[in-house]
Chain A
Amino acid sequence: MNRIEKTFAALKRPALVSFITAGDPDRETSQAVLDALPEAGADIIELGMPFSDPMADGPVIQAASGRALQAGADMKQTLSMVQQFREKNDDTPIVLMGYFNPVLAYGVQQFAKDASAAGVDGMIIVDLPPEEDEELQTAAKANGLDIIRLITPTTDESRLKTLLNGASGFLYYVSITGVTGTASANMDKLKPHIVEIKKHTKLPIVIGFGIKTPDDAAAMGQIGDAVVVGSSIVQTIENNDKNTAAGAVSEQVKALSEAL
């Protein structure tokens, strides 16, 4: 079993996935936040790869990408942050999330190889639908990395088949039509859709987008196998300074974890 499978197998409650942008606001602070996440209660870490044009992200994560890039973040640094994290933690899965162009610029084969060597477990490439991800799929499989597919409120049954073909690790359910950190999901519509999807797959379903508070997390945890909290954690980083960011995020993650 890989780290993602082990994590889901061991859990007695819905998992908490915590998102931060790598290198936000700078390498040192970001590393401190990242390293503190597991102890605070993050079961899985989603690490954003900064990009100049984050089209699926709302203002909070856009700003985080901007801060990280301003401070000199690049793909090498992101992978080296994972490597440093792995020196102390060999259990908590790390999934990279981002956009395809920086991966393409790095070189798809090399990226998969280096990400795996650094201790990455999977990746979510927001703007790479199944129709275009063959090269990355092959490279990821060869290096033991999961390609995590996105399912959305607009996914119908025929589209679901396309998405499930080649999906591994878990499924990321984008709970709203929109960008990160904006509206909250409509539970009444979400629940039957997730029940329907569960009929077609054994992969865990992780619900993300629009989950901000411990209450949100608890509610979504009732219908998903895990919940993702992103923008509100990133907002905490923005609201704090270098010395207080890791502590403040840890407190927030602890509260989220306890609510699940």
Chain B
Amino acid sequence: MTKANSLKNQPDERGHFGPYGGRYVAETLMPLILQVEQAWNKAKADPAFWDEFEELARDYIGRPSPLYFAKSTTEHCGGAKIYFKRDELNHTGAHKINHCIGQVLLARRMGKTRIIAETGAGQHGVATATVCALFDIPCVVFMGAKDIERQKPNVFRMKLLGAEVKAVESGSNSLKDAMNEAMRDWVTNVHDTYYLIGTVAGPHPFPAMVRDFQSVIGKELRAQITEREGRLPDTLVACIGGGSNAMGLFHPFLDDTGVNLIGVEAGGHGVDTDEHAASLTGGKPGVLHGMQSYFLQNEDGQIDEAHSISAGLDYPGIGPEHAWLFDEKRVDYVSVTDDEALEAFQLCTKLEGIIPALEPAHAFAHVMKIAPDLPKDHILVMNMCGRGDKDIFTVAEKLGVKI
């Protein structure tokens, strides 16, 4: 495939993925965001930057994450051959650490002395607090009051790591509002602060930069599956909130038209109800948080509250590259409800002895739907992007168990 035809060439120099992406931020932030872009372009082209990233990825995160043949799940389904990419085994228990290491290295190069982040499930907050502890940088994490309640273990972990966790009580008290508050902090402390965005969203260059750090997942998988099976997989499945783990898994395969890519959005109580977080299947194009993308919104352009059992997917938008891939029909986007994810959470735990986070439990639920009907030589890889320790309280409550 020639470079001009490649789906991997996005975004353009102004950060547009087709009509999506861009830079929709307050003017106060524009000079800084242009500086982030310059610093990123410079770092990206510097082998020393990648040497540092790769060393930490290996020795601190524990990369490469294993590719695991999920034998019991495969037998249970009786169809496709199912593998898990084990990013839940990373240090801090999810894929978020990949882009945190990358961005903290960039922030240090830029001479920034304070880091802020937003978090939903707390995985990105914990990963950010972790790298800030590692490099001894003050860290403030914004988290919706609702999420603080349902993700208590992660809140405590962040505090142990030395981060200040600020409860956000505006709007829906969840991830979207935490991001608003982080933006407000950033505009106020623009001189010394780096906003370590936790997904492939926000103003350019964040969507592309976070994707590039997360692409380590797809690149490793490419080598691992080729070694194991002698060929590329047939189907890749990942859950999507903002879309960072999915983008990292998919991106190295975008030009491999034989590889079927499936993104699983959070269907909450069902995409035909008012309570879900499926921005692509249930939203429309709009502008929020520095980017043009798909958002859940009403006719007047007011952003709707998202709903998902999973705090990490409880976001009414999605990264702009996903919006573009949705329009281009390169990736299939489907949704899974809270109940289906809850059932998948339990099934995966029993079958594999792996407690998945509620986020990849959505991906697992979709795998359960499609795998039985696929041929036995069909290779399916699901990204196990996070572990479920943080979710046991939520799950216990849903199941009516007191712990």
Residues of chain A touching chain B, judged by Cβ–Cβ distance below 8 Å, are 50-56, 58-59, 62, 69, 74-75, 99-106, 126-129, 131-132, 149-156, 159, 163, 174, 177-179, 182
Contacts and interface: CB of A to CB of B under 8 A. Distances in A.
Interface secondary structure of B, over-half rule: mixed
Contact of A53 (B23, B176, B285, B300): B176
Contact of A55 (B31, B180, B190, B302): B180
Given A101-B288, A177-B187, A126 B300 contact: no
A52 B22 CA distance: 21
A127 B301 contact: no
A174 B176 contact: no
Interface residues of B, number: 37
A154 B29 CA distance: 8
Given A53-B180, A101-B286, A163 B27 contact: yes
B72 interface: no
Contact of A131 (B22, B31, B295, B297): B22
Most buried by B among A50, A69, A106, A177: A177
B170 A104 contact: no
Given A53-B180, A159-B31, A177-B187, A102 B301 contact: yes
Contacts, number: 113
Contact of A177 (B24, B183, B191): B191
Nearest to A162: B30
Given A53-B176, A62-B170, A179-B187, A155 B300 contact: no
Contact of B300 (A56, A105, A156, A163): A105
Nearest to B32: A154
B302 A149 contact: no
B187 A56 contact: yes
Given A62-B170, A105-B301, A154-B190, A149 B287 contact: no
Nearest to A57: B184
A254 to B, nearest CB: 31
A53 B171 contact: yes
Given A127-B25, A154-B31, A102 B190 contact: no
Interface of B: 14, 22-32, 170-171, 176-177, 180, 183-184, 187-191, 285-290, 295, 297, 299-303
A192 to B, nearest CB: 18
18 contacts: A52-B171, A56-B187, A59-B170, A101-B303, A102-B302, A106-B301, A132-B23, A150-B27, A152-B27, A152-B28, A154-B27, A154-B31, A154-B190, A156-B31, A163-B27, A174-B27, A177-B189, A178-B184
A105 B31 contact: no
B267 to A, nearest CB: 22
Contacts of B302: 50-52, 69, 74, 101-102
Nearest to B29: A154
Contacts of B285: 104
Given A105-B300, A177-B187, A177-B188, A129 B28 contact: no
Contacts of A101: 286-288, 295, 297, 301-303
Contacts of A159: 30-31
Contacts of B177: 53
